[in-house]
Amino acid sequence: MEIVSRWTAFGGEQLVCRHTSSATGTPMTLGVFVPPQALETPCPVLTYLSGLTCTHANVMEKGEYRQAAAELGIVVVCPDTSPRGEDVADDEAYDLGQGAGFYVDATEAPWAPHFRMRTYVEEELPALIRANFNVAADRQSIFGHSMGGHGALTVALRNPDRYRSVSAFAPIVAPSQVPWGVKAFSEYLGEDPAAWRRHDAVALIEDGARVPEILVDQGESDSFVITELRPELLVKACEDAGIALTLRMQQGYDHSYYFISTFMAEHIAWHAERLA
């Protein structure tokens, strides 16, 4: 793994790293914040999955997570949202192709050769972090925003023994039922909705997947909340399944990083309690 750049921050280091991915068959770039505690002891890992159009850099530059992560001794990993490159399939629309991987393993042409973000996030990335950083392999959690909130919820629900906790900012909770998800899943996974269910948090819960608890922050002024995010569907699924969901509707906040950065430290502290 190549370290592209590094900066000292809050006594730790913010790195940008690059490696060749066996999952996607492309170079992949990620941000990794290493807290000062990692010089002396293995630290827990918190992975952040970003939303549509984002790279690793959006949360790294706007998310304001480093001070809390340094104080609490947590390694924060920020991968890209999709494979990229001249030979990687793409689309002119912002919600499909590069920057819009939806954290699935695509089965359909032209996406299948490279769009394997589920395998990348669930398997390759954790192994890469274990091999290159002083981390506690049995102490990891996951969170994300929008499309990345969808990714975090589905990854945690599919791997409840691996992740200590999961939270999200404005997640797409039921992509099978909203325009963003229907478009992406039809392209990546084919037209059969039955193939979509293991990539849909609400469907996973309906089909028996369980985590002990979920924390979600949602801006009340988010322009996507009614058509794309549908938090009420997650509320019902968790109520029916007995999952402790904390949904905080935040007055005046939208879908932006102004919203995310406001509540970022609270999410990191919440995960830190469960990673202790």
What are the catalytic residues? 146, 222, 255
Query: Could you tell me where the DSSP H helices lie in the chain?
Result: 57-62, 66-72, 117-119, 125-132, 147-158, 179-189, 201-206, 231-241, 257-275
DSSP, collapsed to helix, strand or coil, labels residue 247 as strand
Quick count: other Cβ atoms within 10 Å of Cβ 28? 24
Residue 163 · residue 49 · CB < 8 Å: no
Residue count (the chain): 276
Which distant-in-sequence residues (6+ apart) come within 8 Å of 257 by Cβ?
Answer: 58, 59, 62, 63
CA distance 68 to 13: 13
Longest dimension (CA), the chain: 51
- CA 55 to chain centroid: 12
Distance CA 264, CA 140 (A): 17
Cα-Cα end-to-end distance for the chain = 28
Tokens 């969170």 locate to: 143
